[in-house]
Structures are given as structure tokens and as C-alpha cells.
Structure 1
Amino acid sequence: EPDIGKELKPVLWNSKWIPIAENGCGDYLCIDTDPSEAGVVGQVLYFWHDWGKRSIEAKNIFEFIEICLKEESE
């Protein structure tokens, strides 16, 4: 059952998602170059290979890096 946020097009995979990191198990962190009308080009999403969940983690790569840096300092 897909669990896809409104910022993403309702597909399980989009060839315009650009993987930028992976965990070795088939899951990817991607930059979305083809968002839905509610999303923004460049938003960062998690793609889980064995689960229909697709979630936006940040509005762009810079915001994502800031989130990572804040988590690291805590």
C-alpha cells in the first residue's frame, strides 16, 4: 500500500528522482526533479525499496544538510 506525501507524484518510482545516497539495502535518499504541484523542484525524499512510503525530508539539499548538522550536534 503506497504511503506517498502530497508533495510527490503518486508513483512508487519516478525516473526523475536522482539518488544521492543509499544504505546498501536498496533504500535511497533522492533529489526530486519532478514534484507534484504541492512540492518544489529539488526537494529531498526518502525512497524505501520494500515499503510504499515516500516522504519529503527537506525542501532542498541545503535544508537537509542543516538538519543533519543539527542532529550531529545534539
Structure 2
Amino acid sequence: MKVLLAFNLQLSTKMANHTIIFNSTPPVPIPTGTLLTEAARLAGVEITQPCGGQGRCGRCAVLVQNGGIRRRSTLRL
């Protein structure tokens, strides 16, 4: 199962907050820096991670509707 997400960037004076929608779920406010897996958990959505959270299996496909993203490097020492 692929999960399609939608983000809307809302800037505040304290910290940027985002609204995340998993397929048909109600919008959930998520603070900047929240991992996708944690955002899913907060929204009540289970995402299986065959790649162990490395972002290689495609289970966490994301559609950014507004704003930008910073992809975490998968390089490890």
C-alpha cells in the first residue's frame, strides 16, 4: 500500500507548522522536523517499512502541494 500525503506550509513566528493528510484522513497539524512515520502514527495511519525507514522502498511516497522539503541523507558512516 502506498500512502499519498499532502502538505500545506503554514509559517508562524515561532516555528513552521505543516498540515498533513493521509489519503482520506482529516488534516493533522505537524511541527517542522517531524518524521513521516511519526506523522503517520499521529494521524492513526500505519505505514509498513520494508526498507527499515531508509526511504528506498517507496511506501512513503509524498506529494508536496505547497512549500518545500528537505530530504534527509541516507548516507551512513
TM-score (norm 1): 0.29
- The higher relative CO (CA closer than 8 Å, separation ≥ 6) is in 2
Higher strand share: 1
Structure having the higher Rg:
2
